[in-house]
Chains A and B, each alone.
Chain A
Amino acid sequence: MPGVRLDSPRQPGGARSCATPTSPQARLDEVRGRHLTTPAVRIAGLVKRYGTLEAVRGLDLDVPEGEFFGLLGPNGAGKTTTLSCLVGLTLPTAGRLEVHGADVVRDPRRARAAIGLAPQEYNFDRYLTVRETLVYSAGYFGIPPRTCAERADDLLRRFDLWDKRDGEVQKMSGGMKRRLTIARALIHRPRVLVLDEPTAGVDVELRFALWSMLRALSSDEGLTIILTTHYLEEAEQLCSRIGIMREGRILALAPTRDLTGEGERQILEVTYAAVPDSVPDAAWPGLLWDGARRQARVGDLTPAQVPACLAVLSALGTVARVDLRHRSLQDVFLELTTRQPAPEATP
């Protein structure tokens, strides 16, 4: 798939500002300069209730312009609800959401012009062809017909869909539909792109191609991207910062390299030949015991701590096997979402 570039500053309605730099470097410089002022996305105290169910519980989040941000969590964590509130599909019960300073509820027209959504489920208009899907979508954003056609043709070529332009969307493969979903989200040249599980159900080859395309959008054009995914490797590869949600709250929010310890943090797993007489929790801070597998596990160790920890664990019983590996995002995710009780307040 060809690399994707958006070759002009994103302006609702297709207008170009004379004052806006046009080269990618100038654009990135401008983006970095703005980090200190208004974030691309600001969510403050977001609460969303469905009857008695509280899907999001006082969520605070700032996403600086140009960041590739990952929002992770198990099913029901509140990720999609949060994104739905951000793009205007869901009304928040309380709290404030802004896209480039525009309030999503009070100033929806400006907020929506600045954000593009690529939803998880395919939701194409069944009466439109592939090209019409892009042209009509641009029209809904108020872009004049001639510009709509030019942009649609441009995106069809970049996303390798040109040959299918007059075909029916329903007859396209899943990978093509996924590319069209992202192209449609970009048709009005948003400054923030929201991707809800963009690689769900696609094969490995296309997943890598989509990663490459998204990296180009982020690094070359400075597009702010918010991604939700169940593929932790995907978040680790793409996102510069990650938030992990559970039960409507953010449990961890940090640069990806900090969450995983930049590959220096390690996990030690000791499997015993027989169940030891006792495995005291205090044997080592953070020790987890898996009785079914006769396995003691300690995560988040520095290399220097490993020998001492191994000595302590070896003293508990007859060791059958020792595994030492780097701490991955999956380890962090599992620690936070399955083994730790949900905290009472958002950090």
Chain B
Amino acid sequence: MNLVGLWTLCRRELRRTFRIINQVVWPPLIATVLFLTVFVIGLGRAVGEMEGLPYVAFLLPGLMFMQIVETSFGESAASLFILRFTGSIQELLVAPLSRLEMVLGLLSGTILRALLIAGLVLGVGLLVGAPYGASAPVHPLGLVGLVILLAVCFASLGLLMGLAAESFDQMSIPQTFLVTPLVYTAGVFLSVHQAGLPAPLALISRFNPMTPMVDMLRWAVTGHAALPVGQGFAIVGGLATCALLGVTAVFRSGWKLQH
């Protein structure tokens, strides 16, 4: 196995992240501060508690999830698309890197970026939200494991998007019409288990694959989960595995890579 090549590809992803730090690192932090300001400081007293948690403690894992999805899906898709768009993907294709090594190299860079963003969002969230009831993660190792699984899942889907897209306009289609609606109906801002939720929203949330992901992140940060933890981890791990196997199979087929 070309471990040096794999690590180089991982470093290249991180290099890209810090070359475009204003696009990748600062926006999630600013968005987190703004969400917390509006929803917790502005409206928090009106909301009170959600699923037995102070609203800030309920909201913070959801905000982390939003940013993990963005940095994993959007950025991995953009990174691969630009490699294809500029032709620099050829540099990887003529190197002695297997397709699996290419996928793992790109994913490992995304995982490190997701851990960084999740850590920064958590730090900012605690800084702003501590006076309102936010506290340090109850299950830190579980949180790290979940961030990795989520990054693998969404980065794999992002790589598929980066392969499939033929233009920057096409790149925005799944983000706009699929990922963002799913994120907003997965229980990020409000409990999907509360009584009185409109029936269509309750139905979408129930079958939304992102709902157990948000729930597990909430468990890792607050210790509270609606789903049994084992079941939640099985769903998140299963989805991440499927996405990883899918993107590896597509890379190995040479689709959009080798003519």
Contact = CB atoms under 8 A, between A and B. Distances in A.
B188 to A, nearest CB: 31
Interface stretch (A87-95, A243-251, A254-262, A324-332): A87-95
Interface string A118-138: 010111111110001000110
Interface of A: 12, 50, 84, 87-91, 108-110, 112-113, 115, 117, 119, 121-128, 132, 136-137, 139-145, 184
Given A88-B258, A140-B91, 15 more contacts: A88-B94, A89-B258, A90-B259, A108-B96, A125-B88, A127-B20, A136-B8, A136-B11, A136-B12, A137-B91, A140-B92, A141-B96, A142-B2, A142-B4, A144-B4
A139 B5 CA distance: 5
Interface in B70-112: 82-83, 86-88, 90-98
Contact of A90 (B11, B87, B92, B258): B258
Contacts of B12: 125, 127-128, 136
A110 B98 CA distance: 12
B9 A140 contact: yes
A136 B14 CA distance: 12
Given A50-B259, A137-B91, A132 B86 contact: no
A141 B91 CA distance: 10
Given A84-B259, A126-B88, A139 B11 contact: yes
B35 interface: no
Contacts of B45: none
A123 B90 contact: yes
Contacts of A50: 259
Among B94, B95, B258: residue with most chain A CB under 10 A: B94
Contacts of A117: 90, 94
Contacts of B94: 87-89, 112, 115, 117
Given A126-B86, A126-B88, A128-B15, A109 B98 contact: yes
B88 A142 contact: no
Given A127-B16, A140-B9, A88 B93 contact: yes
B93 A89 contact: yes
Contacts of B3: 142
DSSP majority for the B interface? helix
B254 interface: yes
A109 B96 CA distance: 4
26 contacts: A88-B93, A89-B90, A89-B94, A90-B259, A91-B258, A109-B2, A115-B94, A119-B87, A121-B87, A123-B87, A125-B12, A126-B86, A126-B88, A127-B15, A127-B16, A127-B20, A128-B15, A137-B95, A140-B8, A140-B97, A141-B5, A142-B3, A142-B4, A142-B5, A142-B96, A144-B4
Interface of B: 2-5, 7-9, 11-12, 15-16, 19-20, 82-83, 86-88, 90-98, 254, 258-259
Given A89-B90, A91-B259, A141 B95 contact: yes
Contacts of B91: 123, 125, 137, 140, 184
Contacts of A122: 87
Contacts of A125: 12, 83, 86, 88, 91
A119 B83 CA distance: 15
Contacts of B9: 140
Nearest to B8: A139
Nearest to B259: A90
Nearest to A87: B94
A142 B5 CA distance: 5
A230 B91 CA distance: 24
A244 B206 CA distance: 66
Contact of B82 (A12, A84, A126, A145): A126
Contacts of B90: 89, 117, 119, 123
Nearest to B18: A127
A65 B96 CA distance: 21
A309 B95 CA distance: 56
